[in-house]
Amino acid sequence: MNRFFTCCLIMLAACARGQHLPDRPTLVAADKIVLDSTFTAPVKSMPFDRHFILQFSVPGKADVLGFLLVPINKRKRKSVTRRDYRVYIRSITTNAEKRRDARGLMPYILFKDPATEHPFVHKEVETRFKGKKTEINLLVPPLDPHRDYLVRIYKSDTQMLDIYFGMNASLFSVVSSKGTVDTLAFNQLKQSYDKIEPKLFKKDDLFQFLSKVNCANDIPIRVDAPELQGQQQYFEMRFVFSKDSLTKQDVATLQKNRFLCIESDHIPKQISASMLFALASKQRIADAKGDVISFLQDSTTPYSLYLMISGNKRSLGQDKTNPIPFKDTILTKLGTVKFLGNDPKKISWTLLDSTKGCKANEEIMANLKAINTNKLSLLQSPSVSVLTAASNSILAGLASECPCKDAEVANAGDREELLKVLGYFYDMPENYIPQTVSGYATLSNPYGLAPKDSTGRLTNIEMSLKSLVQLEGIIRRVPARTRDTLIIQNLKSVLAFVKKYRSIAESNRNKLKAYITAEDKLRTYYRNSVFPAEPDDITGVSSRVFNFMTDSKFKIVPDFGLVVISGLPDRAVVKDVVPYLGFNINFRSIDKDIPMSSVLNKHWTYFFSFIGGITLNSVAIPNRREDLFGNNSLMLGFGFRVNNYLKVIGGAVLYKTFSTNPLSDKKPLGASPFAGLSLDYELKELFGGIKNLLK
């Protein structure tokens, strides 16, 4: 038996190498599967039990927030199992109590419901906009073998996001100082808001929009109605201007033109005074007595501002032909306002007594300020060409001799770009300098298409700065070639102009970088908190449903090993260690390139396999049993996986037995149990062949 244990130790040591838990893969390190952009078909099969990148392209500009993998059946319908549910619960937390809470919130019956969205969206996404399409890379988590999946991506509506971002950029023109609102700018803002309102989360509305993101200038009015919050589904808010005291009955019986009515599914915590007065002015609201309010003129007597909120259980979108009576109604005096009439284009006011509160997001405010203050500087083009003909000629000659390190002209491409710049400095196009210093064009290509975003403008400015550095380097080489005073005098003025240009361009570059940083932060905030993500399935040409399998099958793997068979007689007759050669059928597909320890949430089928083979040595015993065929006997059993290559096996050896009746020549089938270790046949080279090992 010593030889058996020695062999076992060798096998264990050989198979243990490389079986470690790797770090979480990155998008670069993982395998990449590319989908055909026309038919959305994979160019190779999907891996399983490992992370990999799924790459595809969609037309236009897409902003992907996350993706979902939905197991589906052959009918393309959601098909989840109990194991999927257990894996989901385990992925939430390691805390047992929190897992019980999670099961209560998401029971299995709800989890498997086709109408239920899977609650776990994967966030590992990279997008790159390339021309007329967007390249998307998804870091797909390990898939189960033999499963079909639907890949669903969640995108933000970039068009709505652009409108919302534009609204934020215009806030400082709508409300430029406290107690004023520009009515024309507000009307434009309201038009933009009406476009995006259907797409917004319910928690955000125009009431809170101005005061939340322009807290520095706006005057928000706090609303307290805790007795109604959370009890109703529909609220009608009536804002009334009155010079006298009012009761609920007074407000309830007012004609429609004597109050500003807002319907909502919730009560805002704070209301923008700017928005309120601008909206009331736009609708030409009268006061409680019916007198028209002159919002743009001085009011001789202050107005008391009342708010009556009524609620019922009718949903906001429900048919109003059969109205439901209001269950609860409260009346609140928000404060006293006096309109000043300082500017015929702006509503100006002062709040004499009101509950004020401002809860602006400081990070949003800082980024908005960066966007509004980082305006680019301009530099006008000279009235005449910068370079004279003589100066241009000598500079072009020097540039033609490059590449040259001192002028930072590294290659032939840089040389050609510099020659173009010299040509434009000699024969300068209209608005050449203002366009290039602001990034709408480059010094070497003033007639190119203007970039549509700030990043493109930043790139143009960087390219122009590079050209300016090269131009300075060429100019400094001139004194060594000529002593012409006119040329040197002209180039001194050119050099001074280039330095001024560089200073403004570098300032604009820094401003654009700050602008882009602030813009990215705001867009990230808006896309995650303002607009809900829109699901979109990766589509084929016609069905718009993309299915793919992990392309794995049950595998028959050849193996060899060493077993001990019980019931063996004296050592001189049969060896105690019997080698065998055979095969195993895994109960599920196994990717041997992945260390076993890195495969998460293993099912019992991952560990077990069916074993079949033949002994390489005879197990015959004279007059008691003989081999099943030749000098070999059949082995059948089961294996338990220790790692990707090593198994502990057990089962029975089948052989022929001799009949106890001396007159009978029948040899019935017999069996003896065995136990041992098995190695996949791919490792045979580690031992130089199993027969040589045992000689």
Residues 11-24 have a mean pLDDT of: 42
| Residue 132 forms part of a structural domain | yes
Confidence (pLDDT) at 16 = 41
Listed in sequence order, the DSSP H helices in 170-294 are: 171-174, 183-196, 206-213, 248-252, 273-282
pLDDT above 70: residue 208: no
Q: Which amino acid is it at 284?
A: R
Rg (CA), the chain: 40
Residue 345's pLDDT band (boundaries 50, 70, 90)? confident
- First vs last Cα of the chain: how many Å apart? 15
Q: Say if residues 127 and 64 touch (Cβ distance below 8 Å).
A: yes
For residue 29, give both structure tokens: 């390190």
| 594 and 669 co-located in one domain | yes
**CA 503 to CA 508: how far, in whole Å?**
9
- pLDDT tens figures, 21-45: 344 454 455 567 777 655 555 555 6
Q: What is the CATH number of the domain that holds 516?
A: 1.20.120
pLDDT above 70: residue 689: no
Confidence (pLDDT) at 129 = 83
Domain end (from 495, 529, 563): 529
| 485 and 580 co-located in one domain | no
Residue 636's pLDDT band (boundaries 50, 70, 90)? very high
Identify the weakest region by mean pLDDT among 237-246, 288-297, 600-609: 600-609
| Residue 479 forms part of a structural domain | yes
Residue 226's pLDDT band (boundaries 50, 70, 90)? low
pLDDT above 60: residue 387: yes
pLDDT above 50: residue 551: no
Q: Say if residues 337 and 371 touch (Cβ distance below 8 Å).
A: no
Residues 393-398 have a mean pLDDT of: 87
Residues 462-483 have a mean pLDDT of: 87
| 339 and 479 co-located in one domain | no
Confidence (pLDDT) at 240 = 93
pLDDT above 70: residue 291: yes
| 489 and 579 co-located in one domain | no
Domain end (from 96, 122, 153): 153
| Residue 489 forms part of a structural domain | yes
| 190 and 142 co-located in one domain | no
Of residues 348, 217, 334, 220, the one with CA closest to residue 294: 348
The dihedral region occupied by 666, where left means phi > 0, alpha psi between -120 and 50, and beta the remainder, is: beta
pLDDT above 90: residue 241: yes
| 442 and 344 co-located in one domain | no
Of residues 585, 571, 575, 566, the one with CA closest to residue 671: 566
| Residues near 346 by beta carbon (within 8 Å), at least 6 away in sequence | 180, 181, 182, 183, 296
- pLDDT tens figures, 259-285: 998 887 777 777 778 888 888 988 889
More confident residue, 575 or 630: 630
More confident residue, 268 or 213: 268
| Residue 292 forms part of a structural domain | yes
| Residues near 147 by beta carbon (within 8 Å), at least 6 away in sequence | 71, 549, 550
Q: Say if residues 188 and 170 touch (Cβ distance below 8 Å).
A: yes
More confident residue, 418 or 16: 418
Of residues 551, 578, 591, the one with CA closest to residue 649: 578
| Total Cβ atoms within 10 A of residue 94 | 8
| Total Cβ atoms within 10 A of residue 240 | 24
Range of the domain at 265: 160-360
| 508 and 400 co-located in one domain | yes
More confident residue, 10 or 103: 103
Residues 209-221 have a mean pLDDT of: 63
* Percent share of the chain, pLDDT over 90: 7
More confident residue, 600 or 390: 390
Confidence (pLDDT) at 383 = 64
More confident residue, 302 or 359: 302
Mean pLDDT of the residues in the chain: 77
Identify the weakest region by mean pLDDT among 160-169, 291-300, 525-534: 525-534
pLDDT above 50: residue 573: no
pLDDT above 50: residue 693: no
Confidence (pLDDT) at 303 = 92
Confidence (pLDDT) at 17 = 42
| Residues near 259 by beta carbon (within 8 Å), at least 6 away in sequence | 238, 239, 240, 251, 285, 288
Residues 179-196 have a mean pLDDT of: 84
SS3 string, 354-386, reads ECECCCCCHHHHHHHHHHHHCCCCCCCCCCCCC
Q: Say if residues 611 and 676 touch (Cβ distance below 8 Å).
A: no
| 497 and 435 co-located in one domain | yes
pLDDT above 50: residue 571: no
Confidence (pLDDT) at 239 = 92
**CA 52 to CA 593: how far, in whole Å?**
13
Residue 648's pLDDT band (boundaries 50, 70, 90)? very high
| 349 and 422 co-located in one domain | no
Identify the weakest region by mean pLDDT among 141-150, 359-368, 417-426, 535-544: 535-544
| 243 and 341 co-located in one domain | yes
Identify the weakest region by mean pLDDT among 263-277, 530-544, 571-585: 530-544
Q: Are strands 52-59 and 31-34 parallel, antiparallel or unpaired?
A: parallel
Confidence (pLDDT) at 205 = 59
Residue 5's pLDDT band (boundaries 50, 70, 90)? very low
| Residue 380 forms part of a structural domain | no
Q: Which of 212-221, 462-471, 581-590 has the highest mean pLDDT?
A: 462-471
| Residue 655 forms part of a structural domain | yes
Residue 214's pLDDT band (boundaries 50, 70, 90)? low
| Residue 24 forms part of a structural domain | no
| 566 and 444 co-located in one domain | no
Confidence (pLDDT) at 692 = 47
Confidence (pLDDT) at 54 = 82
pLDDT above 60: residue 541: no
Confidence (pLDDT) at 373 = 67
Residues 179-197 have a mean pLDDT of: 83
| Residue 449 forms part of a structural domain | yes
Report CA 127 to chain centroid distance, whole Å. Answer: 8
Residues 189-208 have a mean pLDDT of: 72
Domain end (from 309, 339, 360): 360
pLDDT above 50: residue 76: yes
Q: Indicate the length of the chain as a whole number.
A: 695
Instruction: Work out how many domains the chain is built from and give that number.
Output: 4
| 347 and 394 co-located in one domain | no
Q: Say if residues 238 and 260 touch (Cβ distance below 8 Å).
A: yes
Confidence (pLDDT) at 15 = 46
- pLDDT tens figures, 659-687: 666 666 677 888 888 889 888 776 554 44
Of residues 667, 666, 633, 668, the one with CA closest to residue 651: 633
Confidence (pLDDT) at 462 = 92
pLDDT above 50: residue 543: no
The dihedral through the CA atoms of 226, 231, 237, 243 has a sign that is: negative
Identify the weakest region by mean pLDDT among 443-447, 526-530, 579-583: 526-530
